[in-house]
Structure 1
Amino acid sequence: MYQNFQAELSWATLHMPRTRKALEALPDLGGVKLACNMHLDLKMAPLVEGLLERGCNIFLTTCNPTTVQNEVVDYLVSKGAEAHAWRDMSDEAWSDSFDKALAWEPTHLCEMGADLTTRLHQNLAQGVPVPDIVAGLEATGSGINRLNGMAPRYPIFNWDDLPVKEGLHNRHMVGLSAWQTFFQTTHLTLHEKVVVVIGYGLVGQGVAASAKAFGAQVQVAEVDPARALQAKYDGWPVVELAEAVKTADVVATATGAYGVIGVQHFDAMKDGTFILNVGHVAQEIDVPYLKQNAVESLPMPYVNAYQINGKTIFLLADGSMFNLTAGYGDSINAFDVTLAVMAAGVGHIVEHGSQSKSGLYLLPENAWKQAL
């Protein structure tokens, strides 16, 4: 993906002043063993490199094998990190990575999706020895939903619901970068196209607003009555998904839930419909069913074609997080805010947060505001 990795890394680091400032404010991290389960793309490298320079020991796993950039992993390993992650690793290897990270006996966790915490608690229930975790961080709504269903045995700090995370990344950057990636991948624009956005959380709101700004005719499908009402107040036509897919040119899932689009929706779609996902899990779409009807050759990179009832349906990036699998994700300057808050969060779980009782907490304001 990168034409000149070192040059692009230097460019990213140059344009991340908040991250540099937050890293410089961290205490000595010698003795800290931080297991990270997260996207491993170029923009993550300045954070991990900075943590290593502060003395932190780091083990890298990924929250999504399709978003791993192998150059990034190789570079961070050369700087001292340990890792078990590579692009498009198998489900078995991905699952093994969680066990390897826990066997490394981390003291702290930094997660996007709560995979390590979930595996640790599964092992605990089965009588498998688990490491003594001091504290952890969680960065995604999907991960928070998983954590709400368990009783963590250590404090975990949620920074997905911070104003600068949900208001900046979730609300603005995902939608903007998703449609930029759509243009680059398909060589098409959204003009004269009906776009159905499934889910009207903050990510869905941004996807809808950006689609309209780029010329689309936008409709929203939302099963939650409160969010559906909000979409109406925002001026969007709120539609039933079963009917909306019949006329949609592009369908975008933004829920983070499982099984949102299935066989009945594929059957109802018209010829030439595009499907993309910007939620955390690829399982929002029934990809296995589509693959039973695959057209052998790819029309374009990251565009998969499927023949269903005489119609061609296009799935982008195999249903994985489209903006980061086929594109570059957030802009560097916007992600600078995200990384600065993450760095400050690491400082919190090493220091004051480590004194908290077991449970799920919002990352406190005094832990992250100085990073801005």
Structure 2
Amino acid sequence: EVIPALESVLERGASVFVLPSDPATVRDEVVAYLRDLGAVTHAWQGMDTADLQAAVHRALGWAPTHTCETGAHLSVAAGEREGGTIRAGLEATAAGIARLQGLRLRYPVFSWDQLPVQEALHHRYLVGVRTWQTFCERTQLSLHGWHVVVVGFGLEGEGIAEAARAFGGVVSVADHDPARRLEAAYAGWRTGSLDSLAHEADLIVTATGRSHVLTTELMSTLRSGCFLLNAGGERDEIDVDALTDRREVIPFVEQCRIGDRQIYLFAGGATADLAAGHGESLNAFDLTQGIMVAGIGLIVSPELDWPPGVHGLPDHVWRDLASRAAQRGVPAGG
């Protein structure tokens, strides 16, 4: 889904280095295609943590002038080095922006995670639909009669809960923030703490953007046969290192043990719709892709004069795209 954006950048004469933010989402055929177009790549399916760190170091050694990231791994590493060549960057995720908070950035980074069109379309609706489409397609199971616990009631969690109910699930919502639990209760959801809901779940899905939301202690209380699924922005929302005897029973579904419990892990604990599916629907991703390309146009502009630090993407960069999409009545960029 990112190929058209990168084709556009390469066709305009840019030099491009491609590395993954989450190795579980890498498509080797896409990497090969981009390499054939002239991009420098350091990505392959099955990379481990050391491989990802090596990719980040190699990318910084390549001396980039601009970055376009999901997760801010490159910017965080750049901030730990003296000097550097980066002049400006883009960041697409809340998790990435959280990593940048408190860093002494030497260049501006523009966040487009909280744009109204991203929050109202991608976060609120599309993630939930694609998550459950992917799960049901890969497992050949439906959610009918299942007790689904959604962890996190931000915009993505809200959409995931609604889509789970539409797919037949009996849904409860857990959130560590009492204000969000109250919001979920006002919306008609059964709510509670994760500790109080987890033991009765047939499937737990995380949508928090935080690491190790599902801890060893919590997973040891789950009923046998429970499925674990990550739909959030962090690849380690599930503490998969606590799971033993992992064995793939069908593609993207592993049977695991924790203590005397047998549970099932979907997509290795990586972001489900990206690791096991095809990501966003193409027509919906058009707008996202258009905003990304427009954002790249902003950061490479010779007239760019913003102070170092994190900034929201300016309205003039994306509003014209949103207006054209609204006129067409569908979320498609131009």
TM-score relative to the length of structure 1: 0.84
How many residues in Structure 1 have an aligned counterpart in Structure 2?
322
Q: Does 1:337 align with 2:295?
A: no
* Residue from 135, 148, 151 that aligns with 1:198: 151
Shift of 1:312: 1.6
In the other structure, the counterpart of 2:298 is: 348
Q: What amino acid does structure 1 have at the position aligned with 2:267?
A: A
**Residues 169, 353 of structure 1: alpha-carbon distance in 2 compared, 3 angstrom cutoff:** farther
Q: What amino acid does structure 2 have at the position aligned with 1:349?
A: I
**Residues 102, 308 of structure 1: alpha-carbon distance in 2 compared, 3 angstrom cutoff:** closer
In the other structure, the counterpart of 2:268 is: 318
In the other structure, the counterpart of 1:138 is: 91
Q: Does 1:209 align with 2:162?
A: yes
Unaligned 5+ runs, structure 1: 1-42, 125-129
**Residues 352, 227 of structure 1: alpha-carbon distance in 2 compared, 3 angstrom cutoff:** farther
In the other structure, the counterpart of 2:57 is: 99
What SS does structure 1 have at the residue aligned with 2:90?
Answer: strand
**Mapping 1:7-22, distance limit 5 Å:** none
In the other structure, the counterpart of 1:284 is: 237
Q: Does the 8 Å CA contact 2:144/2:168 hold for their aligned counterparts?
A: yes
* Residue from 232, 245, 249 that aligns with 1:294: 245
Shift of 1:168: 1.2
Q: Does 1:114 align with 2:72?
A: yes
Whole-Å separation in 1 of the counterparts to 2:223 and 2:185: 26
Q: Does the 8 Å CA contact 2:72/2:97 hold for their aligned counterparts?
A: yes
Shift of 1:138: 0.4
Q: Does the 8 Å CA contact 2:143/2:169 hold for their aligned counterparts?
A: yes
* Residue from 164, 188, 208 that aligns with 1:255: 208
Whole-Å separation in 1 of the counterparts to 2:303 and 2:220: 50
In the other structure, the counterpart of 1:73 is: 31
Whole-Å separation in 1 of the counterparts to 2:173 and 2:61: 44
Q: What amino acid does structure 2 have at the position aligned with 1:149?
A: G
Q: Does the 8 Å CA contact 1:103/1:131 hold for their aligned counterparts?
A: no
Higher relative contact order structure (alpha carbons within 8 Å, sequence separation ≥ 6): 1
Q: Does 1:219 align with 2:172?
A: yes
In the other structure, the counterpart of 1:364 is: 314
Whole-Å separation in 2 of the counterparts to 1:271 and 1:355: 57
In the other structure, the counterpart of 2:255 is: 305
Cα deviations by residue, 1:153-207 (Å, 9 ceiling, x for unpaired): 1011000000111211111111111101111111110100110000111111111
Q: Does the 8 Å CA contact 2:185/2:191 hold for their aligned counterparts?
A: yes
Q: Does 1:48 align with 2:18?
A: no
Whole-Å separation in 2 of the counterparts to 1:145 and 1:83: 26
Whole-Å separation in 2 of the counterparts to 1:144 and 1:228: 24
Whole-Å separation in 1 of the counterparts to 2:119 and 2:245: 36
In the other structure, the counterpart of 1:182 is: 135
In the other structure, the counterpart of 1:40 is: none
Cα deviations by residue, 1:111-139 (Å, 9 ceiling, x for unpaired): 10100010011123xxxxx4222111000
**Residues 352, 166 of structure 1: alpha-carbon distance in 2 compared, 3 angstrom cutoff:** farther
Unaligned 5+ runs, structure 2: 323-334
Q: Does the 8 Å CA contact 1:197/1:208 hold for their aligned counterparts?
A: yes
In the other structure, the counterpart of 1:162 is: 115
Q: What amino acid does structure 2 have at the position aligned with 1:254?
A: A
Shift of 1:309: 4.2
Whole-Å separation in 1 of the counterparts to 2:204 and 2:309: 37
What SS does structure 2 have at the residue aligned with 1:229?
Answer: helix
What SS does structure 2 have at the residue aligned with 1:345?
Answer: helix
Cα deviations by residue, 1:80-127 (Å, 9 ceiling, x for unpaired): 111111112121111011111111111111110100010011123xxx
What percent identity do the matched residue pairs reach? 43
Q: Does the 8 Å CA contact 2:153/2:181 hold for their aligned counterparts?
A: yes
In the other structure, the counterpart of 1:16 is: none
What SS does structure 2 have at the residue aligned with 1:294?
Answer: strand
CA RMSD for the aligned pairs? 1.3
Q: What amino acid does structure 2 have at the position aligned with 1:335?
A: F
Q: What amino acid does structure 2 have at the position aligned with 1:151?
A: R
**Residues 353, 318 of structure 1: alpha-carbon distance in 2 compared, 3 angstrom cutoff:** farther
**Residues 308, 102 of structure 1: alpha-carbon distance in 2 compared, 3 angstrom cutoff:** closer
